[in-house]
Amino acid sequence: MGKMILASSNKHKMEEIKKILDKFDINLQSMAEAGLEGFEIVEDGETFEENSMKKAVTILDELGIDTIADDSGLMVDKLDGRPGVYSARYSGENANADTNNEKLLMELDGVPLEERTAKFVCVISIAFKNGEKICVRGECPGKIGFEKKGENGFGYDPLFIVDGYDKTFAEISGAEKNKISHRAKALEKLEEIFQDIAAR
């Protein structure tokens, strides 16, 4: 099927998506491998769909090669869907996982567990050079705990108690998380799409 670019420098995402695309004889390259190391894309969309598609289209326009991109984050019901698209920079310009988690806990101070419902969202977009565009979305529901628990994972994982597990993402193994996460669900849909394309 040829070559595709992943509009990301994240090695973990590269490995996960490459595993799927290898099955369809697609050579996935990172932005760095395609000569765009350090290339910045302003994520100014209001939804995960807008941001992921903007990334895919920007790189497609730059290189003329089919491009895949994703955008993901945490949505908390009690906070009207925040942090949402601002998940990575929720606590300000110099945000990191610790400051983001602290801000989230502060905003939910006094809120009982049953009202701390949330979901992780992952949207994967593909922009093809023939003009076709595809978007898939995966979600993982849970609740926001009262304190950080677990050593695995990253970001909001130590606060996110997964539905049906009563453990945070940071308390379950990476292998287990990769079966049930928002990204895993989006990747399942991505694989189905490429099966359909291969069957055309």
DSSP one-letter code for 73: E
| Residue 166 buriedness (CB in 10 A; 0-12 / 13-18 / 19+) | exposed
Q: What is the mean pLDDT of each run of 10 residues along the chain (200 residues)?
A: 86 84 89 89 93 97 95 97 95 93 97 97 96 96 96 91 94 89 92 85
DSSP one-letter code for 113: G
Distance CA 183, CA 112 (A): 28
pLDDT for res 37: 85
Unique residue bearing structure tokens 């799927």? 20
pLDDT for res 14: 86
Chain mean position to CA 48: 9
Q: Quick check: is 71 catalytic?
A: yes
Distance CA 9, CA 97 (A): 19
- Determine which one of 70, 71, 77, 196 is catalytic: 71
- The strands making up 117-127's β-sheet, listed across from edge to edge, are 26-30, 2-6, 67-76, 117-127, 133-144, 160-162
DSSP one-letter code for 45: -
pLDDT for res 150: 94
- Amino acid present at 70: D
Could you tell me the end-to-end alpha-carbon distance of the chain, in angstroms, rounded to an integer?
Answer: 12
Those residues with Cβ within 8 angstroms of residue 133's Cβ, 6 or more apart along the chain or in another chain? 53, 56, 57, 125, 126, 127
pLDDT for res 137: 97
Assigned CATH topology for domain 2-199:
Maf protein (3.90.950)
The answer to whether the pTM exceeds 0.85 is: yes
